[in-house]
Structure 1
Amino acid sequence: MIRVALRPKAAHSSQPKTPLTPRQRLLRVASWLGWPLWVWLSFMGAGLLCSAVLYLLFHGQESVPVLPLIMMQTAVYVVALALLIGLPWLVRRVRPKMPVSFRTTWRQLGWRRSLQWRDFGWALVGFIIYIVLSMIALAAAKQWLPGFDATQAQNLGYQQLYGAERLLAFAMLVVVAPVAEELVFRGYLYS
């Protein structure tokens, strides 16, 4: 037996949209221009704040040990995300009458649903495609670009790391930076 459930049309679908008031239009444009500016200000403020802390800790020395540098790079991302997400949330909590555009939600950050097993399968498929395409691009670059050296070492600033420094550098390069980038650019700016 087949059951069919008919749903009545929503009442709002047949009604025309009401035009935006000038204030609503201004808020929409301010939001559109304001969020990218807010991202920039958050990262600049976090960088300046962490640089000032590093300067005060080492009293203006020209060379700073590697471990504090790695910790400060991680701190820049954490402080920037705290400013970027936390300050609008705090403003919304303190002043509940603020416009909805000041609310930070998981959906606004790009978190639309929880992970499912098929997502891991898609990640594996994407990784395999990435490896194949990068091998093709590398072979093409070797073939057609004179002077292209595929074995040239890249200077990332993390060559002489040992112990905890290596673990922190891994966390910074592989975990913190990509998560922060995805949250900010794909979630926060493009939502």
Structure 2
Amino acid sequence: MLKDSSKRSSMRSFYLFQRSLKKVANHDSLKQKSDDKLTQSNKNFGGPARVILSAFVVFSLSQVLALVLIETGFHIFHGGTKISLDQSAAAQFIYILLAEAAVIGSVVWLVRRRGLKLAAIGLGRRIKWWDIIWAAIGSVAFYGLLIIVTVILTALTGFNANAPQDVGFNVLSTPTDRLIALIALVILPPLGEEILMRGYLYSGLRARLRFWPAMVITSLLFGIAHLSTGANGALWVAGVDTFLLSFVLVALRERTGALYAPIMVHGLNNLVAFFSHFHG
């Protein structure tokens, strides 16, 4: 009888072990299907050309829409007087606010339309403590890289790293003007630009391309978008600065899987540039 009891116990243990193996197998199978589904879902962005074109259209139309809205509003409330954005801090602030809001709204619409979740563009989770740590590491890496590249370019080409940049706010006559300029330059662009460039553009490219091609394309387009036109033609300072910045931001997006660290580094860079421009 003891032998039969032992036999039944062994059979029961084997049965439980077998069930455990099936659960593990089923879990792995479901996880693999989930990963495959996620990979396939991310490809809903479309091909690289489609992603680039969509990002360009969003960027361009958002600025046009913001300009039309502010010009129309000013015409209605000020009797047809033409507005000069660079001479009015309030008008420039509203313009940037409208443009960035249009960018964010357009990206969210595109993501939803293509059957994707916000996680596909790096907004699928809450901010974590390691996002802050990676942001600190990214900031140090960016300024180190910027110094090295600036020294090399200056020695080889006479690159002028101190060339003045047009930030859009030429008249800041009151504390309120300075406050809204700070918000417009340090807070709003990092949100809108990261959601568009490292969120939509990079994520869309990364769904079809390897890391380095996706990084280089994103950074080139980001740098080109920031080229300013001055009296002596294109000001390459902003282009080089943002091209290098994008390298770090893309690396952070890839490493953390989210946009929080890139947004923080972008905001810090704009804060440094703000105080350098207006208080340097």
Shift of 1:11: 5.2
- Aligned to 2:121, the other structure's residue is in SS state coil
Q: Is 1:160 equivalent to 2:171 in the alignment?
A: yes
Q: CA RMSD in A?
A: 3.5
Q: Which residue of 1 aligns with 2:89?
A: 66
Indicate conservation of the 8 Å contact 2:93/2:184, yes or no: yes
- Aligned to 1:113, the other structure's residue is in SS state coil
Aligned counterparts of 1:30 and 1:135: Cα–Cα separation in 2: 36
Aligned counterparts of 1:103 and 1:30: Cα–Cα separation in 2: 9
Shift of 1:35: 5.0
Shift of 1:183: 1.1
Indicate conservation of the 8 Å contact 1:85/1:104, yes or no: no
Q: Which residue of 1 aligns with 2:106?
A: 83
Q: Which residue of 1 aligns with 2:157?
A: 145
- Aligned to 2:119, the other structure's residue is in SS state coil
Aligned counterparts of 1:50 and 1:75: Cα–Cα separation in 2: 5
Aligned counterparts of 1:67 and 1:116: Cα–Cα separation in 2: 35
Mark the CA change 1:140 to 1:185 in structure 2 (over 3 Å): closer, same or farther.
closer
Q: Is 1:48 equivalent to 2:64 in the alignment?
A: yes
Q: Which runs of 5+ in 1 are unaligned?
A: 18-27, 90-100
- Aligned pairs, number: 164
Aligned counterparts of 2:168 and 2:60: Cα–Cα separation in 1: 21
Q: Which residue of 2 aligns with 1:186?
A: 198
Higher-Rg member (1/2): 2
Q: Is 1:169 equivalent to 2:181 in the alignment?
A: yes
Q: Which residue of 2 aligns with 1:102?
A: 114
Matches within 5 A, 1:94-133: 102-133=114-145
Mark the CA change 1:135 to 1:88 in structure 2 (over 3 Å): closer, same or farther.
closer
Q: Which residue of 1 aligns with 2:8?
A: none
Q: Which residue of 2 aligns with 1:97?
A: none
Aligned counterparts of 1:132 and 1:44: Cα–Cα separation in 2: 32
Q: Is 1:135 equivalent to 2:147 in the alignment?
A: yes
Higher helix fraction: Structure 1 or Structure 2?
2
Q: State the AA in 1 paired with 2:70.
A: L
Structure possessing the higher relative contact order (Cα contacts under 8 Å, 6 or more residues apart): 1
Q: TM-score, normalised by structure 1?
A: 0.65
Q: Which runs of 5+ in 2 are unaligned?
A: 1-16, 37-42, 205-280
Shift of 1:81: 1.9
Mark the CA change 1:165 to 1:144 in structure 2 (over 3 Å): closer, same or farther.
same
Indicate conservation of the 8 Å contact 1:70/1:165, yes or no: no
Q: State the AA in 2 paired with 1:182.
A: E
Q: State the AA in 2 paired with 1:110.
A: G
Aligned counterparts of 1:140 and 1:110: Cα–Cα separation in 2: 34
- Aligned to 1:107, the other structure's residue is in SS state helix
